[in-house]
Amino acid sequence: MNGVVAALYAFFVEKLPYITIAVFFVGVAVRLRRWLSAPRDPEGPPFNILTALKYVILDLVLFRKTFKSDRWTWVVLVLFHVGVGGILFGHMRGFHLWTAEMFAPLGDWVAEFLVHTLPVYMGWMFLATQVVLLFRRGSLENRQLVSLPNDYVALVLLLVTSVLGQGMRVFPPEAVPPEVYSVVFIPGLIVLHLEKVPSHHWFFLHVLFTQLLVMYIPFSKLVHVVSGVVTSALYGSRRREYGV
């Protein structure tokens, strides 16, 4: 690895995380300001937490409405979101939020499958569903939808990040150290613990694109992860008020 690349890779790990966090929170502030500076709505139907939960679970977790209107898209959406959840959960192990030993009571084979085999398949599935969703968007473009640039930017960023992440599993690691290998992003706060030293290029580019994605989230359509919960809960309250 030449000096420039090494310096760049060091920057991705040692400095960029601070910029990422700053941009992310500035983005959140900008987004909140955009919403809060709009005029208040007239008083709506009374908010009911149980109704809100019901609609969030049915419509956002189970995608009830998509199931009714388009079964194939429902299958892809469910697999895509399961992939998101699985991958986020998997990454938490690297940050010591859970350990492989937790699955030991299930037996060696199950633990091995859950910790090492399943994530590989989930990665492929996640990639495949992204390609399908990207293809779907492209095929409906100017027929049933008109995308904004950020619809594509978010999808492409996610896809590149995922390809790089999956590449780390596919390409052979640099080394298997005797002890856990730690990557310190922010000392004492964000430290990644790895069993293997991954292929450097794939790893550092994955780190870069992950951070670009995190920075982009508040400015992108991915805010629907949060705002969708609010709109779904408000829709539920309205339905409850109408008694339907």
Which residues, 183 to 222, sit near other proteins by CB under 8 A? Answer: 219, 221
Taking the least distance from each CB to other proteins, the nearer of 120 and 230 is 230
Contact 220, 156 (CB under 8 A): no
Among 4, 97, 146, 189, binds other proteins (CB under 8 A): 146
Q: Is 169 in the site for other proteins (CB under 8 A)?
A: no
Residue with tokens 């699955």: 103
Spatial contact of 59 and 91, defined as CB atoms under 8 Å apart = no
Give the total of residues touching other proteins (CB under 8 A). Answer: 49
Is position 17 an interface residue for other proteins (rule: CB under 8 A)? no
Distance of CA 158 to CAs 14, 208, 220, Å? Answer: 22, 12, 12
- Report in angstroms how near the CB of residue 44 gets to other proteins at its nearest: 8
CB 200 within 8 A of CB 181: no
x-or-dash string of contact with other proteins, 23-52, rule CB under 8 A: -------xx--xxxxxxxxxxx--------
Residue numbers 64-123 binding other proteins by CB under 8 A: 65-66, 68-70, 73
Question: C-beta of 29: minimal distance to other proteins in Å?
Answer: 11
37 close to 229: Cβ distance less than 8 angstroms = no
DSSP state of 198: -
The span from the CA of 36 to the CA of 32, in Å, is 6
Backbone phi and psi for residue 68, each to the nearest 5 degrees, phi listed first: -70, -40
Query: What 3-state DSSP class applies to 26?
Result: helix
Q: Rank residues 93 and 238 by Cβ distance to other proteins and give the closer one.
A: 238
Residues near other proteins (CB under 8 A): 30-31, 34-44, 55, 59-60, 63, 65-66, 68-70, 73, 140, 142-148, 151, 219, 221, 223-224, 227-228, 230-232, 234-236, 238, 241-244
